[in-house]
Structure 1
Amino acid sequence: MNLQKLLSWSFPELRSQYTQRDTMLYALGVGACSDPLNESELRFVYEGQLQALPSQACVLAHPGFWIKAPELETNWVKLVHAEQHFDLVQPLPSSGEVLGRYRITGVVDKGPQTGAMVYFEKSLHTTAGDLIGTVGSTYFLRGDGGCGNWGEPGKTLPAVPERAPDGALDMPTLPIAALIYRLSGDYNPLHADPAVARKAGFASPILQGLSTYGVACQTLIKAIAGFDATRLRGMGARFTKPVYPGDTIRTEYWLGEGGAVQFRCLSVERNEVVLDRGTATLV
């Protein structure tokens, strides 16, 4: 990776319009409304009293696979999405127009044999200039160690408590979950084409990491926020293992003070932790 070119990379301001249809499609892609007869769940997929899931902020005004640009000289084939977080200062509207402004906040060089972490952040604004919130992403470039350090690393996510969780909720995913979620903008063939998945070392296409992240988001809203999406304002997690469409995702959570929550997600079928060091903030 060429660190100097990375640091001078210019992100255009992105304007994104989204409709209630987009919001409902996103919610279906992360498994919302598993019970269509539950009126509380319908609010995520039906225009009557539609609420946007706050994790949808991660896909609005998305810059695409920018780090693949040839001039950055990254070994992008070895890139994995390591962590994700968002913090909202106001609930995300169910439709509208937003502006996304990006910046790189840090690079941590873990050495030639390990790789490098790239931290970048999106600030999401209304067209009037009001801040909606910030969205942070961490990429682990396993083939780009030795590039050098710059800036500040992201905040460290705490380990979940060692005691038993205060609660847990299982959410089955559909075998076609990845095909639905990709319609929200992630067209990586790894999540659709069995041949591409096999070349990448997987038995079949895997679920998008941000879809798993969205499953955790809507599960927490159902389990501890009374189905009110406007109460969940912040969430972070580390991606640890792939999820296959059709897996059951169990979200275990620990309640703290002042609306603080810690959580992790497991694939029930394989008994593997797929999201770890999860944090969430409720109001």
Structure 2
Amino acid sequence: MRSPRSEEPHADLLPDILQQKSAPRTFSYVEKDVMLYAVGVGMGADPLNEQELDFVYEKRLKVLPSAATVLPTANGGFWPPANSSAKPGPRETTLDYTAVLHGEQKVELHRPLPPSGAFTVTGGVTGAIDKGKDKGAILFNESVWTDAAGEKVATLTTSSFARADGGFGGPSEGAPKPHPTPTRAPDKTIEIATRPDQCAIYRLSGDTNPLHIDPEAARVSGFDRPILHGLCTFGITCRAVLQAMLDYDTDQMASHQLRWSSPVYPGDVFTIDLWRDGKEISFEVHVKARGVTVVKNGLTVVR
């Protein structure tokens, strides 16, 4: 992290970044936003699949739990994130957003999401790991949804890899240990194909980062073409768990989390391995055509 008042990193930037919080913000979403998100992660492609129809048709509308990652931006999306310009600390700490990648994501639902509603979201940085001046940094954020009565609805935790912002004097260790993937053969394996135009559809839910649509922006970030939104992959894995293990029963899903391990390109075909151990469903995602694992340490906890 760099301060606009200093050319060199200083150790006292650490409390600065940890003091950055976003102001409480009220947001709302409607049924159309819920359906658009579901289409953006591939739901409803088969018009005769009545279980998926419930996510894209208002008759018996269900909300994908992973939609919590984008619904706060549904009506008036923003990029960069709101807290990127927060200034409650001794100085503003800035990031090079062209070099920031999503590392891990978790959504915890304190109750199932309704098809429409209005909520308040607050958030901020909860931790920072310094990998070194030339190795980047890992930032941990948390945001919380509350309803009109102040009751928690959802808690989202995120880690981001800031590739150009290491060397600020913070701790080099202390990141949470990832969920261990079972070593036995998967209990079930399914395939889900992404669309070549998946980014163009998904971004309409509010994530307008040009990395995912603009070839020039992708090249600036070190990619030869636009990559799929990490949170789109997150939504597809949520859909996969519901499809393969929970019979599309969203009420059963208490939390969903994963760690990205390699970029995804629109058109990739996901091979998703799943394991069930009591209330824990582990998963991993591979793209066989490119010989890569794109998601590791996935975990869904059921109620």
TM-score when normalising by structure 1: 0.93
SS in 2 for 1:120: strand
Residue 13 (structure 1) aligns with: 24
Residue 208 (structure 1) aligns with: 229
Q: What is the CA-CA distance between 1:64 and the residue it aligns to? A: 4.1
Q: Tell me if 1:65 matches 2:80.
A: yes
Alpha carbons 2:129, 2:175 under 8 Å: kept: no
Residue 180 (structure 2) aligns with: 159
Residue 81 (structure 1) aligns with: 102
Q: What is the CA-CA distance between 1:153 and the residue it aligns to? A: 5.2
Residue 23 (structure 1) aligns with: 34
Alpha carbons 2:18, 2:127 under 8 Å: kept: no
Residue 261 (structure 1) aligns with: 281
Q: What is the CA-CA distance between 1:12 and the residue it aligns to? A: 1.1
Alpha carbons 1:119, 1:153 under 8 Å: kept: no
Q: What is the CA–CA distance in structure 2 between the aligned matches of 1:260 and 1:96, rounded to whole Å?
A: 29
Alpha carbons 1:261, 1:279 under 8 Å: kept: yes
Q: What is the CA–CA distance in structure 1 between the aligned matches of 2:79 and 2:143, rounded to whole Å?
A: 13
Residue 277 (structure 1) aligns with: 297
Alpha carbons 2:64, 2:238 under 8 Å: kept: yes
Residues 226-265 of structure 1: CA distance to partner in whole angstroms, max 9, x if unpaired? Answer: 11122112011111111111111121111112x1111111
Alpha carbons 2:281, 2:300 under 8 Å: kept: yes
Alpha carbons 1:108, 1:148 under 8 Å: kept: no
Alpha carbons 2:255, 2:301 under 8 Å: kept: yes
Change (3 A) 1:76 1:236: same
Residue 140 (structure 2) aligns with: 119
Q: What is the CA–CA distance in structure 1 between the aligned matches of 2:179 and 2:21, rounded to whole Å?
A: 32
Which residue identity does 2:300 align to in structure 1? Answer: A
Q: What is the CA–CA distance in structure 1 between the aligned matches of 2:106 and 2:300, rounded to whole Å?
A: 9
Runs of at least 5 residues in structure 2 that lack an aligned partner in the other structure:
2-12, 87-91
Q: What is the CA-CA distance between 1:104 and the residue it aligns to? A: 1.9
Q: What is the CA–CA distance in structure 1 between the aligned matches of 2:238 and 2:146, rounded to whole Å?
A: 21
Alpha carbons 1:98, 1:127 under 8 Å: kept: yes
TM-score when normalising by structure 2: 0.87
Residues 185-233 of structure 1: CA distance to partner in whole angstroms, max 9, x if unpaired? Answer: 1111111122322343333221100000100001110111111122112
SS in 1 for 2:46: coil
- Deviates further, 79-88 or 100-109: 100-109
SS in 2 for 1:13: strand
Residue 181 (structure 1) aligns with: 202
Q: What is the CA–CA distance in structure 2 between the aligned matches of 1:130 and 1:166, rounded to whole Å?
A: 37
Which residue identity does 2:141 align to in structure 1? Answer: F
SS in 2 for 1:110: strand
Instruction: Report how many residues are paired.
Output: 281
SS in 2 for 1:178: helix
SS in 1 for 2:72: coil
Q: Tell me if 1:237 matches 2:252.
A: no
Alpha carbons 1:80, 1:141 under 8 Å: kept: yes
Which residue identity does 2:47 align to in structure 1? Answer: P
Runs in 1 of length 4+ with deviation above 6 angstroms? none
SS in 2 for 1:136: strand
Which residue identity does 1:274 align to in structure 2? Answer: V
Residues 74-133 of structure 1: CA distance to partner in whole angstroms, max 9, x if unpaired? Answer: 233221111100111110111111111113211112222322111010111112222112
SS in 1 for 2:267: coil
Runs of at least 5 residues in structure 1 that lack an aligned partner in the other structure:
none
Residue 46 (structure 1) aligns with: 57
Which residue identity does 1:48 align to in structure 2? Answer: K
Q: What is the CA–CA distance in structure 2 between the aligned matches of 1:43 and 1:162, rounded to whole Å?
A: 35
> Percent of counterpart pairs with the same letter?
37
SS in 1 for 2:38: helix
Residue 9 (structure 2) aligns with: none
Which residue identity does 1:241 align to in structure 2? Answer: S
